[in-house]
Each structure stands twice: as structure tokens, then as C-alpha cells.
Amino acid sequence: MQNQTEDIIIEICNHCGNDVSIGSGKFVNRVPDFNDIITRIDNNLDFPLGDFVCEECDNNSMTDNE
Ligand SMILES: [Zn+2]
């Protein structure tokens, strides 16, 4: 059995799709998202493959009721 794709870390924000890798300027304040892709799709995220939330979207998700 091969490992599943869970080992691959995709360094984008799963809300806005922005790059959060080293050098992007968003690396320091990025927040890891520990949900799996299925959960993210259920949550209607625009970029469910992303393993992180950028600081901007993290702030929005705490205050935005939508
Ligand atoms: Zn974002």
C-alpha cells in the first residue's frame, strides 16, 4: 500500500489560495489547518487542498458570521 496524499503539504491558504510558503511574506503568520480535505470541502472552502490559513483569513473567520 502506498501512502496517501496526506503526506503532501500544500502551502496555500485554503480560504484565499494565497501562497504561504517561505518567502511569500505570509509564512510567519500562517496557521496550520488540521482538518482533512473532506472536512474542508464540507466547510465550503475555496481551496480545500491548502493546508494553511493565512493570518488575514484567520482573523476574518473569527469575526465573519457568514
Ligand atoms: Zn487567506
Ligand 1 mean position to 3 CA, how many Å? 28
Q: How confident is the model at residue 60 (pLDDT cuts 50, 70, 90)?
A: confident
Q: What is the pLDDT of residue 26?
A: 97
Count of CB atoms situated within 10 Å of the CB of 55: 14
- Per-residue pLDDT at 49 exceeds 90: yes
- Per-residue pLDDT at 44 exceeds 90: yes
- Per-residue pLDDT at 6 exceeds 90: no
Ligand 1 mean position to 50 CA, how many Å? 10
Ligand 1 mean position to 55 CA, how many Å? 7
